[in-house]
Structure 1
Amino acid sequence: MSVTYTFDDVCDTAIDVETIATEGGCLNDLWRFGILQTIDLYQTAINDDGIEGGIKVFAREPITSVSEINCGYAALANYFANRDGWNAPEWANRPCRCTAPWFPAQRPEYPLPQRVIKLSIEETPDEFRQRNIFITLDDLIRV
């Protein structure tokens, strides 16, 4: 798997998502390399350059061939914008929704425990829930 190790913005993580998708990665892999890496990137930018640095992470629209990840990027941008008091970029406010409920913690090789499904349904922030993505609050804690 050839992935990027330096990132400037969310579009850089989207490049990795495309690489991993092309190589047959599952949605959980794409979530980890796309969304979770973007969380780390945002937190680093905030720590280094304040809110303005964080806003720059989401300035360009990330586009992948995977609709769930595109919706995840939009949800994440809106989540951070709402949490940290800035306006989400226009691309993040376009309607997008996963056609089926998606639990990113799910891996193809094992079933997701019912307690994790229940917790995800209870804890999912609205920005993700409205896009039919279900996560726990721990999924947003990275750095």
Structure 2
Amino acid sequence: MVFRGEVRSVGELLAASLVEPGPVLATDVGVRHTAAGNAKACRNLLAEGEGLDACWRFGVLQTLDDYTSTLRRGGPGLAAGVFVDEPELTGAGEADAAFAALADHLAERDGWSPPVWALDPARRTTAWYPSVPAIFRADADRESPRAFRQRGIFLTARSLFRA
């Protein structure tokens, strides 16, 4: 197949970016996936014998991905909707604390109020280092964002980086 489109110079592209309107946020789509739904999936994984690492990846980090996608599509007001419904407890205090920490962290970062359930003092754990190898735990002790650290979860600065 041969490319038949228009090849524009960098200068033309820059000029067009100043004239053409930016993308319109699609707030009419709504929230597709929520922390509550991902916590339920996490609870199911744990019931099937999977460990906390699977819950971290397929529950908490999936929620981060869902939030980021919704944020790009509709801005912080819409993205906050990912955390509106309180996730049921998963059966693992570490995961429950992580969902609360993620909501609190993203609210602080993006300028919206965290949901009341995320501030529940019962959603805490003791010194959990999800997917942090022992060699990087000193880094996690130093670098963990406030919302996670206050709940007993320690992450490196890279832990929440997503593609």
TM-score, scaled relative to structure 2: 0.76
Deviation digits for residues 87-142 of structure 1, max 9, x if unmatched?
A: 000101111320x3100115xxxxx332x111111110010001110011211111
Provide the rounded CA distance (Å) in 1 between the counterparts of 2:139 and 2:86. Answer: 30
Which has the higher Rg, Structure 1 or Structure 2? 2
Letter in 1 for 2:130: P
The one of the two structures with greater contact order (alpha-carbon pairs below 8 A, sep at least 6) is 1
| Residue 21 (1) aligns with residue 46 (2) | yes
Partner in structure 2 of residue 113 of structure 1: 134
Stretches of structure 1 that go unaligned for 5 or more consecutive residues are 1-6, 107-111
| Residue 126 (1) aligns with residue 146 (2) | yes
Alignment of 1:1-143 (within 5 A): 8-63=33-88, 64-95=90-121, 96-98=123-125, 100-105=126-131, 112-114=133-135, 116-143=136-163
1:52 Cα deviation after fit: 1.6
Provide the rounded CA distance (Å) in 1 between the counterparts of 2:112 and 2:58. Answer: 25
**% identity of equivalent residues:** 36
In the TM superposition, structure 1's runs of 4+ consecutive aligned residues that sit over 2 Å from their partners are none
Stretches of structure 2 that go unaligned for 5 or more consecutive residues are 1-31
Provide the rounded CA distance (Å) in 1 between the counterparts of 2:159 and 2:93. Answer: 19
Deviation digits for residues 25-48 of structure 1, max 9, x if unmatched?
A: 111111111110000000000001
Provide the rounded CA distance (Å) in 1 between the counterparts of 2:146 and 2:130. Answer: 16
Answer yes or no: is the 8 Å Cα contact 2:36–2:85 preserved in 1: yes
Provide the rounded CA distance (Å) in 1 between the counterparts of 2:100 and 2:44. Answer: 20
TM-score, scaled relative to structure 1: 0.86
Answer yes or no: is the 8 Å Cα contact 2:38–2:63 preserved in 1: yes
Q: CA RMSD in A?
A: 1.2
Q: Secondary structure, in 3 states, of the residue corresponding to 1:137? A: coil
